[in-house]
Amino acid sequence: MIVDCAHYKDGHRTDAGQVPLAEISDRRAQGGFVWLGLFEPGEKELAQVRETFGLHELAVEDALTLHRHPKIVSYDADVQLAIMRTARYDDAAEQVDFGEISVFVAPTFVITVRQGVATELAGVRQRLEERPELLTAGSSSVLWAVLDAVVDTYAPVALEVERDVDDIEATVFSGAVAPTERIYSLRGEATGFYRAVHPLLAVVATVERTAPKKLRPYLRDVHDHLIRVDEGIADQRELLRQVLEANMAVISVEQTRVSVQQNRTIQQLTILATIFLPLTFITGFFGQNFGWLVDHIKSFPAFFLYGLGGLVVPLVLLITWMRLRMPRVDTRAAAGEAAGARHH
């Protein structure tokens, strides 16, 4: 879809409305340059644009393909294609959405192609039209304006990502367990953001070397802003790595605590089962209707002797056996070691 198409000469827009594609060749012949803005164009529309401006087929294919890394490519002697990624933070989903802008730059024309969640370039066009002294630098001024707008949107995104990282860091280093999926998600967003920011440094440096002298100070300013964002996102990636390691340590400690608690519970249940096993056997034995038992256990003393005594004796033997099996600790040696530790 064509958003806007205008002809600029001597730092000013020559028409109030859009220039039809059929008249672009005539306007380019008048001097100055034509700026065509497209948003998510289809193959047929880009084919028409390619025919009108004489673009290389690989350049058009690049404009239709979403890239993970920014780049700048020269397809013809006078035509350059600069590809940059845009970023926007989605507060509702708490994630970074990415888009892409492709900019074809030639002495007589500029074509901007936006894909996905892209920077709104209407404001960029308006701001640049309000600075005719920069428009006189030619089509390179449009590339600078687009780069400046894209880099300016990086700072708020980096701030939001940093805020999310700080929240996760505070959770982990307070001793609580943070959702591991959230840490991985943040690390993926930081990595994607880094891939959008870091390669753009080389693109801006290349544009700065080939730009008119009038634009170079402004491009250096864009480069400086980009360096600050790049360093910030690199620090966030490193911090997320440390947070992930710390969170895994917290999870390990928590699992160890649960395991120790489970072992204690199992140990207590084992002791109870060990105690009640012989008692249950004896109780079951005396519960049988043997004639000897029926004939001899007819009074309370006999019940006490054979019944309760039959439970107490194996219980005492079991407790004695368990104490003998427990490791003995030399209390004097332990006291000596404790005294030595206090002395040191």
pLDDT tens by residue, 164-207: 888 888 877 776 666 777 888 888 888 889 999 999 999 999 99
Q: Which of 22-36, 52-66, 201-215, 283-297 has the lowest mean pLDDT?
A: 283-297
How does residue 145 score in pLDDT terms, banded at 50, 70 and 90?
A: very high
Threshold 0.75, pTM exceeds: no
Tell me if 94 sits within 8 A of 189, measured CB to CB.
no
Judge whether residue 341 has pLDDT over 60.
Answer: no
Q: How far apart are the first and last CA of the chain?
A: 80
Tell me if 101 sits within 8 A of 150, measured CB to CB.
yes
How does residue 81 score in pLDDT terms, banded at 50, 70 and 90?
A: very high
pLDDT score of 228: 94
pLDDT score of 232: 92
Which residue carries 């591991």 as its tokens? 180
How does residue 292 score in pLDDT terms, banded at 50, 70 and 90?
A: low
For residues 148, 149, 150, 153, the Cα torsion angle rounded to the nearest 10 degrees is 120
Which residue carries 């066009």 as its tokens? 125
pLDDT tens by residue, 224-272: 999 999 999 999 888 888 888 877 777 777 778 888 888 888 888 787 7
pLDDT score of 287: 65
The class (CATH top level) of 2-251 is alpha beta
pLDDT score of 286: 62
Judge whether residue 296 has pLDDT over 80.
Answer: no
Tell me if 14 sits within 8 A of 45, measured CB to CB.
no
The length of the chain, given as a count of residues: 344
